[in-house]
Amino acid sequence: MADNVMTARLVIKELAQLQGVYASFMPKPFTGSNGSGMHTHQSLFRGNTNAFYDSDDDLHLSVTGKRFIAGLLRHAPEITLVTNQWVNSYKRLVPGYEAPVHVSWTVSNRLDLVRVPSYKSGYDTSLRIEYRAPDPACNPYLAFSVLLAAGLKGIEDEYPLPTPVTADVSSMSIEERTARGITALPGSLGEAIALAEGSELLRRTLGDFVFDSLLRNKKMEWGQYRSTVTDYEIARYLPLL
């Protein structure tokens, strides 16, 4: 699937160039307009049987599926550096807008990090889990690897699944989210680096070389961004200060 993502991106960009325009997978190219997400759907199978499906469960979700979701939720903050790897990625992950910023799951609305799309009777193999944070500028090989690793860790260690959220998470007070154990994704590349740096899951999944190289490169990018004066700062502060 990562091969397909890379092929699609390359073909789209080259066809656009032939027409004299840019096709960009930048997560947030324009202020005030929706960014570009890459919602990732996942299922596990045992042979031809969907391991996430359970006909006896109210949500048709098996214990395996629930623990997989729990793994995604628990490890979401530390793997965000991989699923959202650029400075610009965090201009899309902003509260109350089009992308999830809180670590919660749902079967109804589209504001949560993890969503289980409605089950359609007779389509057992189509039951899947949607993880909505990644953007299309990420490295899909690394992103898909850490998503799978987080879910499998939840299965292996039998993580308990929190209660699904039915209300709008962004409209809850901080106290309400805290009481429900709802945390947040990192709000900047700098925060994501700090969370990833201590992640044993990331190091084990990516291997020492890739893990250390990723951190080193991202720290360089964050340092360059922090030291660059932006047009926003010039327009905002130059006449005022």
* pLDDT tens, the chain, 241 aa long: 999 999 999 999 999 999 999 999 999 999 888 899 999 999 999 998 999 999 899 888 999 999 999 999 999 999 999 999 999 999 999 886 678 999 999 986 777 999 998 766 666 677 899 999 999 999 999 999 999 999 999 999 999 999 898 888 888 888 999 888 899 999 999 999 999 999 999 999 999 999 999 999 999 999 999 999 999 999 999 999 9
pTM of the complete model: 0.92
Residue with tokens 């990192």: 186
What pLDDT is stored for residue 122 in this prediction?
63
Domain ranges for the chain, please list them: 2-237
Is the CA virtual torsion 91, 170, 219, 85 positive or negative?
A: negative
What pLDDT is stored for residue 28 in this prediction?
94
What is the DSSP-derived secondary structure letter of residue 4? H
Is the CA virtual torsion 29, 6, 197, 131 positive or negative?
A: positive
CATH fold of 2-237: Creatine Kinase; Chain A, domain 2 (3.30.590)
Taking alpha carbons only, the member of 109, 101, 221 closest to residue 170 is 101
* Residue pair 227/190 in contact by the 8 Å Cβ criterion: no
